[in-house]
Amino acid sequence: MKVALLKPPSTGALGLDMLTFVEPLGLECVAGTLEPDGHDCIVVDLRIDGMDQGLAKTRAHEPGIVGLQCNFTTERYQALEVAKRVKREIPGAYVVIGGHDASRDPKWFSDPAFDAVALGDGEDVFPPLVDALDRGADAKEAPGLVLNTSGGQRHTGPTPPRHHLDDMALPARHLIDEYADHYYLQFRRPMALLETARGCPFKCNFCSVWKFHESSYRQKSAERIVEELSQIKSPHVFITDDIFWLDVKRSEELAEAIKASGIRKSFLVQTRTDIIVKFPHLVEMWKDLGYLTAFLGVEKVDDAGLSSVNKSNSAENNVKAIQILKDLKVGYSCNFIVDPSWGREDFARLRDWMDEMATYNAGFTVLTPLPGTDLWDEAQNEVNTFDWHMYDLIHTVLPTKLPLHEFYSEFASLWSSSRDIFFKHRGKARFYLQLATGLATGKITPKAMRRGFDIARLLSNPDTFMEAHLQSPVESSRPAADEAAA
């Protein structure tokens, strides 16, 4: 059967793609599972092709099944628009929506433009569905689906048992060859994704990952990961694991296996500060594999703040981990969560902490109750808009203690403070020397540099954030479509 897997266009009030624009690895994994069984798959990235060109490419493939990915809440409207156009332009196609957001809130996707919602891992749910439809059977034979019928949504039964990750086929990376050079993360381009594990044992209240994976944690063997890594052409690799180095023994084995393979890459990993504090030797091992950058979910600068988001970590670990990375001369970036209930003193406390710790490479998100999280269960009655574009983590959807423009003035000041702290601790001359070196060596492209400066200017201006509120009326009650899904 012919299958088309589509990534919807860019989304969000400002867009989650400003700093990060990465490949649709989940769609590649689904295609990798289907192709060995003889199914003819394509992956279409509508963020790059645009809606008209991408759908023309999809029509030319003549798919019997069209799969859409909705990982983020901000993608809902675009995914629905794509589904409606597919139904009009390819009327015989069976349209399925999957991904984290769709799995956690399938009721929202009850629109008849979607024939079904896939729950859980696409590699487990899609093969039985494609097999059933290929045989001319009813989709209700395939487990792990919520079917949209004239009588309402119907569940087809429990999601298939989760497979060991080594048993899954390799991602069909060849299907995104034409797009590969477009993907980036900050200044690094092209950027490829590598998954070595799925799930998370921690239960942060703002995150749906652990719920999507039902608190499970599965990982690939070192041999399997090296096999995948050997197929990646990009010099930059972002490891998608929510918490890298969680299994210390496997992390050691994996570093040794990559070193033995002779593969050297620029690796970006996400991890917790308590892991770095307990096992600093892992940082040293991975630093030896090329170039290493660690993304740290610091979130809050005191224990009370960490407890408020159920982080299960300590402020002391945050301080110690940053010092370890500095001593080892390993690059790092800290992410902080800004609470809408903050006053000016809270913003000042964070700026002072950043200055003291010299955390000049930082990012900031606004505490946002996303559907499918514990925070949503606690705060959904307090949200002041159901415009899902606003749920992009850089706008507030909760009431603020400060007047809204003052809140965004403080929020924008965090971004400008990060730049000022860099110049204070590293110096402007050093910055421009590194930038010139990156341009000369090709590690940084002129386009990436211009985009970086443009983004810095945008994020340092409070009007950037206010604009979305002015364009999108604040709604204290659910729109009709959301009431129907609730």
DSSP code per residue over 194-234: E--EEE-S---TT--HHHHTTT-EEE--HHHHHHHHTT---
Closest CA to 247 of 175, 198, 314: 198
CA–CA gap between residue 76 and residue 249 (Å, rounded): 40
Residues in the chain: 486
Nearest Cα neighbor of 101 from 69, 144, 72, 68 is: 72
Tell me the HSE value of 23 on the side-chain side, using a 13 A CA sphere.
Answer: 32
Least confident span in 72-81, 252-261, 358-367: 358-367
Q: Is the pLDDT of residue 70 over 90?
A: yes
Phi-psi region of 10 (alpha: psi -120 to 50; beta: other; left: phi over 0): beta
Enter the tokens of residue 299. 């979130």
pLDDT at 19: 67
133 close to 91: Cβ distance less than 8 angstroms: no
Sequence-distant (6+) residues with CB within 8 A of 340 are 366, 367, 396, 398, 399, 400, 401, 407
Map out the domains of the chain as residue ranges: 2-155, 183-330, 339-486
Class of domain 2-155: alpha beta
328 with 287: CB under 8 angstroms? Answer: yes
Range list of H helices, 265-373: 273-278, 280-287, 303-308, 315-327, 344-357
Q: Poorest-confidence range of 29-33, 75-79, 268-272, 417-421?
A: 417-421
Q: Assess contact for 100 and 79: CB atoms under 8 A.
A: no
Whole-angstrom Cα distance, residue 43 to residue 459? Answer: 32
Fold match between domain 2-155 and domain 183-330: no
What is the 8-class DSSP label of residue 92? T
Handedness of CA 190, 196, 197, 202 (dihedral sign): negative
pLDDT at position 440: 76
Mean pLDDT is lowest, of 49-53, 216-220, 337-341, for 216-220
Mean pLDDT of 410-421: 89
Q: How far apart are the first and last CA of the chain?
A: 35
Looking at every residue in the chain, the average pLDDT score rounds to 90
pLDDT, tens only, 198-216: 999 999 999 988 888 888 8
Lowest mean per-residue pLDDT among 125-129, 161-165, 205-209? 161-165
**Count of helix runs (H) and strand runs (E) in the chain:** 20, 17
Contact (CB, 8 A) for 460 and 416: yes
Rg (CA), the chain: 22
pLDDT at 465 over 70: yes
Angstrom distance (rounded) from CA 194 to CA 185: 14
Q: Is the pLDDT of residue 12 over 60?
A: no
Q: In sequence order, which residues have a C-beta less than 8 Å from that of residue 387 and are 6 or more positions away?
A: 472, 473, 475
pLDDT at site 460:
86
Q: What is the pLDDT of residue 37?
A: 95
Q: How would CATH label the architecture of 183-330?
A: Alpha-Beta Barrel (3.20)
Cβ(322)–Cβ(334) below 8 Å: yes
> Residue 211 has which token pair?
């719920």
Q: Is the pLDDT of residue 277 over 70?
A: yes
pLDDT in tens, 357-394: 988 788 999 999 999 999 999 999 999 999 998 999 99
Q: How confident is the model at residue 482 (pLDDT cuts 50, 70, 90)?
A: low
Predicted confidence (pLDDT) at residue 157 exceeds the cutoff of 80: yes
Task: Write the single-letter amino acid at 258.
Answer: I
* pLDDT tens figures, 108-122: 999 999 999 999 999
Say which DSSP state 188 is in. Answer: B
Question: Which pLDDT belongs to residue 480?
Answer: 46
Return the pLDDT at 146.
97
